[in-house]
């Protein structure tokens, strides 16, 4: 069988947690889920193609031309909840012209498997991981069509949507490496990228922590072995000329022994490779950070979230402000650049608490920060509470086409959505406009392309209007000692509920 995967472009959505300008400069990342699905299909003896229309900036017509040249028997798409309607438009356009069945997978299928197959354009869905499901589906399409025998499949029969059970526990170590040979690896980058080529990796699935805002909270941790991880990094380096990797695990150093084994193996192989990862502040110490630096780690993204201990406790982070400060200090002493994730609009949030978080972030003197608007994403504790309290599930209605794109309510704070937008933008400008911070960033830049990317982002953040709520919000003062907003901006904009 010939299976072609399409990663379509998408626009900014009102219900996203990032500011529009932040999303613009966030980066271009390889569609790793599709690359894994392609590798699984190839391992089962099929032919695969990936058309990364987003990165290549292809129109539907240009994408169609590439697909016709390949001649697929089936099309595959990744369906995130945020981009469901937009991806569905691409599916409709391509399916009408190619006349082949469509299979979809991705995070949205875990939450809404049956609802995802309501559109007539979609024929099959992969509920969880594709390891068993995709080869089983291709085998049945090629043969007898007994789809009830395929584990973890959603399909239609006699106007009924059927979901088959998926009893197999999947060992993540058995997965083949993603099919990066089907991707334009030279085009990928993220905002802090310093070296080319760049890619991302996932070395573990799930996270057993209890954070109420995270969709991965309290899910089974499923890591790949140290040797499998380093072998993939070596393949990235040797085969695709990759010199920088961002590890997208929810919590990379979760198991200390595995992290140490990865670091030892990397040091023995002495690859010309640097990497970044995400970590909690309570899973690293001076010794482990030194090991990670020696193995090429140069950035760690820490989930800090707030400068208020009360808020951290409400979010069930399980960390203290003192732990945060100590870990950031150790990280910088090691030579690794710390980056911090923060949230705006958390339970009980006020203007005063946002100021407190920004002051705390400044005191840590992180190399980069990301301020996101807390949103009730599917499968999070906040989402479950919102559905229970309102009796409505916006995300389900959105993918079913019953409602348009909206900014979700945040009943856990008295701040309006407009205020949260403005506070988030103020936080970015307040943090990044400090002369000392700017001077340090300029000194650390390693290429003109990096300087141009970061300077353009800074100018956009300071001078361009943020249009999430409405286009006339205006420029925000960011003097910490002055009132947060002038009287001109006190009134919240009307929101498209």
* DSSP assignment of 434-469: -HHHHHHHHHH--SHHHHHHHHHHHHHHHHSPP-SS
Helix (H) or strand (E) holding 37: helix 32-43
Write the CATH number for 125: 3.40.50.280
* pLDDT over 80 at 484, yes or no: no
Residue 355 lies in a domain: no
Handedness of CA 349, 351, 356, 360 (dihedral sign): positive
* pLDDT over 70 at 476, yes or no: no
- Give percent of the chain above pLDDT 90: 77
Q: Which residues contact 5 (CB under 8 A, 6 or more apart)?
A: 31, 34, 37, 38, 48, 49, 50, 51, 75, 76, 77, 78
Position 451 scores a pLDDT of 67
Residue 169's Cβ-count burial label (10 Å; 0-12, 13-18, 19+) is exposed
* pLDDT over 80 at 202, yes or no: yes
* pLDDT over 90 at 283, yes or no: yes
Residue 13 lies in a domain: yes
Residue 10 lies in a domain: yes
* pLDDT over 90 at 169, yes or no: no
Q: Which residues contact 423 (CB under 8 A, 6 or more apart)?
A: 344, 345, 351, 354, 415, 484
Residue 93 lies in a domain: yes
Burial 343-366 (b: 16+ CB within 10 A, else e): bbbbbebeeebbbebbebbbebeb
Complete edge-to-edge strand list for the sheet that includes strand 297-305: 198-201, 244-247, 274-279, 297-305, 337-344, 368-373
Position 24 scores a pLDDT of 73
Handedness of CA 204, 317, 424, 444 (dihedral sign): negative
457 falls in which pLDDT band (50, 70, 90)?
low
Residue 325 lies in a domain: no
Domain that holds residue 96: 2-19+27-161
Q: Give the C-alpha distances (Å, rounded to integers) separating 176 from 35, 130, 357.
A: 10, 12, 42
Position 450 scores a pLDDT of 65
Q: Give the C-alpha distances (Å, rounded to integers) separating 60 from 56, 282, 481.
A: 12, 46, 51
Q: What is the mean pLDDT of residues 412-435?
A: 92
Q: Return left, alpha or beta for 404; rule: phi > 0 is left, psi -120 to 50 is alpha, else beta.
A: beta
Residue 4 in contact with residue 77, Cβ under 8 Å? no
Q: What is the mean pLDDT of residues 99-107?
A: 96
**By three-state DSSP, how is residue 426 classified?**
helix
Residue 132 in contact with residue 152, Cβ under 8 Å? yes
Residue 311 in contact with residue 348, Cβ under 8 Å? yes
Q: What is the mean pLDDT of residues 54-79?
A: 98
Alpha-carbon span 323 to 21, nearest angstrom: 31
* pLDDT over 80 at 490, yes or no: no
Q: Which has the closest alpha carbon to 294: 260, 329, 252?
A: 260
Alpha-carbon span 241 to 262, nearest angstrom: 20
**By three-state DSSP, how is residue 146 classified?**
coil
Alpha-carbon span 172 to 166, nearest angstrom: 15
Cis amide prior to 240 (ω within 30 degrees): no
Residue 273 lies in a domain: no
324 falls in which pLDDT band (50, 70, 90)?
very high
23 falls in which pLDDT band (50, 70, 90)?
confident
| pTM for this predicted structure | 0.89
Position 495 scores a pLDDT of 24
The pLDDT mean for the chain works out to: 89
Residue 54 lies in a domain: yes
Q: Which has the closest alpha carbon to 491: 418, 436, 406?
A: 418
Helix (H) or strand (E) holding 332: helix 321-334
Residue 179 in contact with residue 39, Cβ under 8 Å? yes
Rounded (10°) CA dihedral 470, 474, 475, 478? -70
Helix (H) or strand (E) holding 368: strand 368-373
Model confidence pLDDT, tens digit, residues 332-370: 999 999 999 999 999 999 999 999 999 999 999 999 899
CB atoms within 10 A of CB 497: 9
Residue 318 lies in a domain: no
Beta bridge partners of 153: 126
436 falls in which pLDDT band (50, 70, 90)?
confident
Q: Which has the closest alpha carbon to 66: 43, 86, 50, 82?
A: 50
The count of domains in the chain is 1
Model confidence pLDDT, tens digit, residues 231-280: 999 999 999 999 999 999 999 999 999 999 999 999 999 999 999 999 99
Position 448 scores a pLDDT of 66
Position 470 scores a pLDDT of 43
Rounded (10°) CA dihedral 466, 472, 475, 480? -80
């Amino acid at each position: 069988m010939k299976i072609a995967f399409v990663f379509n472009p998408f626009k900014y959505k009102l219900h996203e947690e990032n500011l529009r300008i932040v999303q613009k400069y966030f980066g271009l990342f390889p569609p790793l889920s599709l690359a894994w699905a392609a590798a699984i299909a190839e391992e089962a003896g099929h032919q695969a193609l990936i058309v990364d229309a987003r990165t290549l900036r292809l129109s539907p017509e240009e994408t169609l031309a590439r697909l016709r040249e390949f001649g697929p028997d089936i099309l595959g798409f990744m369906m995130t909840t945020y981009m469901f309607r937009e991806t569905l438009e691409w599916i409709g356009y391509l399916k009408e012209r190619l006349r082949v069945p469509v299979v979809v997978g991705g995070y949205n299928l875990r939450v809404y498997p049956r609802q995802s197959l309501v559109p007539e354009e979609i024929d099959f869905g992969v509920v969880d991981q594709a390891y068993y499901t995709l080869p089983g589906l291709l085998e049945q399409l090629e043969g007898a069509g007994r789809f009830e025998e395929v584990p973890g499949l959603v399909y239609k029969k006699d106007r009924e949507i059927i979901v088959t059970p998926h009893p197999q526990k999947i060992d993540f170590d058995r997965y083949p490496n993603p099919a990066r040979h089907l991707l334009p690896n030279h085009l990928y980058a993220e905002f802090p990228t310093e070296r080319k080529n760049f890619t991302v990796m996932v070395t573990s699935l799930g996270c057993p922590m209890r954070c109420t805002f995270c969709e991965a909270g309290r899910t089974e941790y499923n890591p790949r072995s140290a040797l499998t991880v380093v072998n993939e990094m070596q393949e990235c380096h040797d085969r695709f000329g990759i010199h920088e990797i961002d590890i997208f695990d929810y919590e990379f150093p979760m198991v200390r022994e595995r992290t140490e084994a990865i670091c030892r193996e990397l040091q023995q192989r002495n690859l010309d490779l640097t990497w970044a990862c995400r970590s909690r502040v309570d899973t690293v110490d001076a010794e482990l950070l030194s090991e990670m630096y020696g193995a090429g780690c140069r950035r760690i993204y820490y989930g800090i979230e707030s400068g208020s201990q009360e808020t951290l406790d409400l979010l069930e982070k399980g960390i203290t402000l003192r732990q945060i400060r100590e870990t950031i200090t150790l990280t910088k002493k090691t030579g690794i650049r710390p980056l911090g994730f923060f949230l705006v609009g958390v339970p009980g949030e006020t203007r005063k608490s946002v100021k407190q978080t920004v002051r705390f972030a400044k005191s840590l003197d992180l190399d980069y920060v990301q301020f996101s608007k807390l949103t009730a994403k599917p499968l999070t504790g906040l989402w479950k509470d919102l559905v229970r309290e309102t009796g409505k599930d916006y995300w389900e209605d959105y993918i079913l086409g019953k409602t348009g794109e909206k900014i979700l309510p945040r009943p856990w704070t008295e701040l309006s959505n407009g205020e949260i937008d403005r506070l988030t933008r103020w936080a970015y400008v307040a943090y990044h406009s400090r002369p000392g911070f700017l001077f340090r960033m300029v000194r650390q830049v390693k290429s003109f392309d990096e300087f141009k990317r970061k300077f353009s982002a800074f100018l956009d953040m300071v001078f361009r209007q943020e249009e999430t709520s409405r286009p006339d919000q205006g420029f925000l003062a960011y003097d910490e000692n002055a009132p947060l907003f002038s009287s001109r901006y006190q009134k919240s904009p009307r929101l498209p509920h």
